[in-house]
Amino acid sequence: MTTQPPRGCGSIHADYFLLCDMDQAWGIVLESLAAAGVLVTVFLICSLFFLICKVQDNSKRHMISIYFFFLLGTLGIFGITFAFIIRSNDRIRPTRFFLFGVLFALCFSCLLTHASNLIRLVRGKKPFSWPVLLLLIVSFALVQVVINIEYLVTMLVKGRNTFLNMGSEEANKDFVMLLIYVLFLMALTFLVSIFTFCGPYKSWKRHGAHIFVTVLFSIAIWVVWITMLTRGNQSLGKTNWDDPVVAIALVSNGWIFLIMYIIPEICFLTAPLKLGDYPPENDFCQPTFIKQATGVDNHAYTQDEIVIFCCLLVMRPLQVIPRRFFLPVLTLFP
């Protein structure tokens, strides 16, 4: 039997009907928002490469690596949205289980690294170098990669059919359990971002506010979609809402990342520095002036300068004596 394609779809496979079904418009709306997010993210990545040479402050220049990996994670979040619009099959389900947690772990690892660096900057301490920032991002995100690989290998060893044909309720519980580390990263980032407001340098606190607001909205989105996925849909009897709920969460969180965090950060990347940005005696972010030349000083010139200076000190009091007192002395000399 051949399935009749819905209105708006041509001769395509039934798994892709939601991408073009005019009767179920949620798929078209979400893929449009995801495609717009992909275009905006690609534009921001290109603009980031253009702004590298425009940044004059080393502390801000080190943040570019964080922004780059964050944009890669956001690009992946918009891209994986299409995997939840397409009907689940033997190729899509492993992709969902693996990439969802890894991409969000990468984004929240970037936010956590940025917040940790800001804690030092708001207190006037030396920031982390860019290799250390990259090491922190990779270390935080690598944990989720290992967790997802172990889960997929374990499930596939038990039996490929067992993994692919598990019930929706069991699959949803496993899906949420895989994201416990991402939830931990989210909570830790939120806690660390609060400490970025404790410091004398207010200009760096603005960046901490971006992270705080971004994670706050992300927590709200995650609470809603996890509740709907594990409890709400079953209680309402709408098990076919599982994929739309996750897809909406992906698109919403992706746009929150762009609007609340990365766009303001890029806007302030080339902003002129103010006097309150840095401590007055901060060696790591102040320009280096002319260094003392190495070599042996010419002591002859130094001795002449000392003699002239002493003569000036002696002659200075004599200038106040009237000239008539010197006339008897001057007559003694021819």
What is the per-residue pLDDT across 5-56, written as a single tens digit (0 to 9) for each? 777 677 777 778 888 877 778 889 999 999 999 999 999 999 998 888 777 7
What the block records as the tokens of 186 is 């989210």
The pLDDT of residue 250: 96
The pLDDT of residue 155: 81
Q: Where are the alpha helices (DSSP H) in 12-63?
A: 26-51, 58-61
**Distance, first Cα to last Cα, the chain:** 137
CA 107/CA 316 separation, integer angstroms: 73
Q: Name the DSSP letter for residue 258.
A: I
The pLDDT of residue 281: 41
- Over residues 181-197, mean pLDDT: 95
User: In this predicted structure, which of 126-140, 243-257, 277-291 has the lowest mean pLDDT?
Assistant: 277-291
| Averaged pLDDT of the chain | 80
CA 36/CA 34 separation, integer angstroms: 5
Q: Higher pLDDT residue, 316 or 91?
A: 91
Which of 77-81, 96-100, 230-234 tops mean pLDDT?
A: 77-81
On whether the CB atoms of residues 156 and 163 are closer than 8 A, the answer is yes
Cα 183 to Cα 186, 188, 272, distances in angstroms: 5, 9, 36
Q: pTM of the predicted model, to two decimals? A: 0.79
The pLDDT of residue 23: 76
pLDDT at residue 282 tops 80 = no
CA 56 remoteness from chain centre: 19
On whether the CB atoms of residues 272 and 229 are closer than 8 A, the answer is no
On whether the CB atoms of residues 168 and 242 are closer than 8 A, the answer is yes
What the block records as the tokens of 89 is 């099959």
Q: 8 in the Ramachandran plot: left (φ > 0), alpha (ψ -120 to 50) or beta?
A: left
pLDDT at residue 290 tops 50 = no
pLDDT at residue 296 tops 70 = no
The pLDDT of residue 287: 43
CA 279/CA 95 separation, integer angstroms: 48
The pLDDT of residue 320: 47
**Polymer length in residues for the chain:** 334
Among all chains, which residue has been given the structure tokens 């040479």?
A: 53
Q: Which residue in 146, 141, 152, 229 sits closest to 185, CA to CA? A: 141
The pLDDT of residue 20: 82
What the block records as the tokens of 56 is 């004059």
CA 277/CA 332 separation, integer angstroms: 71
- Over residues 288-306, mean pLDDT: 48
User: In this predicted structure, which of 1-5, 63-67, 88-92 has the lowest mean pLDDT?
Assistant: 1-5
Q: 13 in the Ramachandran plot: left (φ > 0), alpha (ψ -120 to 50) or beta?
A: beta
Residue type present at position 213:
V
Q: Higher pLDDT residue, 108 or 328?
A: 108
| pLDDT level of residue 314 (50, 70, 90 thresholds) | very low
The pLDDT of residue 74: 97
* CA 266, 270, 272, 274 torsion-angle sign: positive
